[in-house]
Homo-oligomer: A and B are copies of this chain.
Amino acid sequence: MKRLEERIDAEGRVLGEDILKVDSFLNHQVDPELMQAMGDEFAHYFADMGITKVLTVESSGIAPALMASLSLGVPMVFARKHKSLTLTDNLYTATVYSFTKQTENTISISKSFLSADDKVLIIDDFLANGQAVNGLLDICEAAGAAVGGVGVVIEKRFQRGHQFIVDRHIPLLALASIASFDNGHVVFSHEKEQINVQ
Stretch of A30-38, A141-149, A163-171, A188-196 that contacts chain B: A30-38
A93 within 8 A of B: no
Interface residue count for A (Cβ, 8 Å)?
A: 30
The answer to whether A29 and B70 touch across the interface, beta carbons within 8 angstroms, is no
A129 within 8 A of B: no
The answer to whether B110 and A76 touch across the interface, beta carbons within 8 angstroms, is no
The answer to whether A76 and B30 touch across the interface, beta carbons within 8 angstroms, is yes
Stretch of A2-10, A61-69, A150-158, A172-180 that contacts chain B: A61-69
Instruction: Give CA–CA (A59, B62) in the complex, Å.
Output: 8
Q: Which of A83-121 contact B (CB under 8 A)?
A: 109-110, 112-113
A42 within 8 A of B: no
Question: Which residues does chain B contribute within 8 Å of A35, judged by CB atoms?
Answer: 66, 70
Interface string of A16-47 (1 = CB under 8 A from B): 00000001110011111101100000000000
Given contacts A24-B112, A30-B75, A63-B66, 13 further A-B contacts (CB under 8 A): A25-B75, A28-B77, A30-B76, A32-B75, A33-B73, A35-B66, A35-B70, A58-B58, A58-B59, A59-B62, A62-B66, A63-B76, A66-B67
